[in-house]
A = this chain, B = another copy of it.
Amino acid sequence: MALKVLVLGADGYCGWAAALYLSARGFDVVASDNYVRRDTWDRYQLRGYTSHIAQGNEPLYPVRPAHERLVTWQRVSGRQVHFIRAELESYEQVQALLEETGPDAVVHFAEQRSAPFSNLSPQHALETLKNNTFSTYNLLEAISRIDPEIHLVKLGTMGEYGYTPHEDFIEEGSIDFPKRPASPYHMTKCMDSIALEMMRRIYRLRVTDLHQGVVYGISTEETAMHPDLHNRFDYDGIWGTVINRFSAQALVGEPLTIYGAGGQSRGIISLQDAVRCIELAILHPPAPGDMVVRNQITEIRSVQEIALHVAAACERLGVQVETRYCYNPRLENENHGLKVHFGGFVKIGLEPHSLEETLAKSDLPFLMQFRNAIRPDLLSNQTIADWRKRHA
C-alpha cells in the first residue's frame, strides 16, 4: 500500500513542488496550508497587527491557491491530492489534522521562511517565532499522543550554523554541532531543533531534521505540466533569494547587485533535487527515538560565483549582464568559504543537478516568457530589512 504523506505548507514554493512530486511517484498525499502567506505576509503584514510597511510583494505570474491548483493536478495527472486548510499554531487543529489523515510521514514546510521578513520589525520577529516554534512543537506533541510511529520530516536550514561559519567542517548528522544563527528566522530553526531533539528522546519519535540550503529553480517535471500548476517565483528583497533576484535583475537589464564583497558562500540545492531529498528522507525513516540530521545541499557557491553563472546563462539567451557591488544590509563575513559535509543524500540515491545546468536549461528560458512582468521596484526593496539600521 502507498505510504500516506501529509505535506504541510503545500501552498508554498517547496511544499507545492514536493506535494506534486510525491503524488506523481505514487505516495498518497494530503496537502495542507493556512494561506497566511498569501493572505497577509505577501504584503509584509502580520496577523492581528497593522504593519507600518506599506510596500508589498507580488508574484511574477498568478498562482492560484493550492486547493484550486490541485483540481488541475487531478485532471492532468489522474492523481488525487486531498487539501485541508489548517492553522498549525493551534494544537487542537494539529491534533484534528493528524487524526483525520492518519499519515505515515509528515513533511513540515509550514514555517515563515524569510530571514529579511523576520528582521522587518520586532513584531515580524515575534510572528516568525510564534509561527515556527508553535507549529513544530504542536506537531511533536500531537504525534507523541496520537501515534509515535509517524515520521516527522522537518525543514531546518544550513543557516542554523551561521553565515560566518566555524573554522571546522560542519558535520552531517550531528545534533550537537554548535549553532550560530544570524537572524530571528534562523534562531527559530535552532529552537525547533531543540524541540525535535527533546521530544524524540522522551517519546521515542522518528524525526528527520533537514538542514536545507538555499533552494533555487522554478520548475519541476510536475509543475511544468500545465500553466495552472506553476510554482511561485519570488524575486523581491524579502522573499526572493539571491539566485532569483539575480535572474530577475538580468532579465530586466539591471546590474546584478552583489551585497558587500560577494565572497560569502552559501550551500545551495535545486528545487528538483530538494523534492527528491524529501522522498529519500521519507523512504529512510529513523528508528524510534532517533533523530537523523541531513545537510540538504548539493553545491557550495559564493555570491560572486552565482552572479557569474546567472550572467553566463543569460548571455546564451542573448541577454547582456553587468554586476555591481553594493551596500550589504546583512551583518556577515563577506569573504568566507563554507566547509560542510553533505554526502548523505547522494549515498542513499540522490543524483544532483548543477546550478549551471538548471539555470541554462530550465530557469532562465522559463523566466524569459515573463520578462516584461518583472517589476524593477521590487528589486530595490531589500534594504527595508536592514540588519544594521536599528532604532527604538
CB-defined A-B contacts under 8 Å, sample of 30? A91-B126, A95-B122, A95-B392, A99-B392, A122-B141, A122-B142, A122-B145, A125-B137, A125-B141, A126-B134, A126-B137, A129-B133, A130-B130, A130-B134, A137-B184, A144-B390, A146-B392, A175-B178, A176-B176, A176-B178, A180-B198, A181-B194, A182-B198, A186-B198, A187-B194, A190-B194, A191-B191, A191-B195, A202-B331, A203-B390
A:371-392 near B, CB below 8 Å = 387, 390-392
Main secondary structure of the interface of A (DSSP, over half): helix
Cα A175 to Cα B179 in complex, Å, equals 10
Cα A203 to Cα B125 in complex, Å, equals 15
Max chain B C-beta neighbours (<10 A), residue from A126, A145, A179, A387 = A126
* Interface check A201, CB cutoff 8 A: yes
Contact size range, A: 35 or more
Partner of A126, one of B126, B138, B144, B146: B138
Cα A46 to Cα B122 in complex, Å, equals 25
Residues in chain B near residue A304, CB distance under 8 A: none
Residues in chain B near residue A331, CB distance under 8 A: 202
Please give the distance in Å from A41's CB to the nearest CB on chain B. Answer: 18
A:344-392 near B, CB below 8 Å = 387, 390-392
Residues in chain B near residue A176, CB distance under 8 A: 176, 178
Residues in chain B near residue A198, CB distance under 8 A: 180-182, 186-187
Cα A95 to Cα B191 in complex, Å, equals 24
Task: Tell me the nearest residue of chain B to A387, going by C-beta.
Answer: B202
Cα A91 to Cα B127 in complex, Å, equals 11
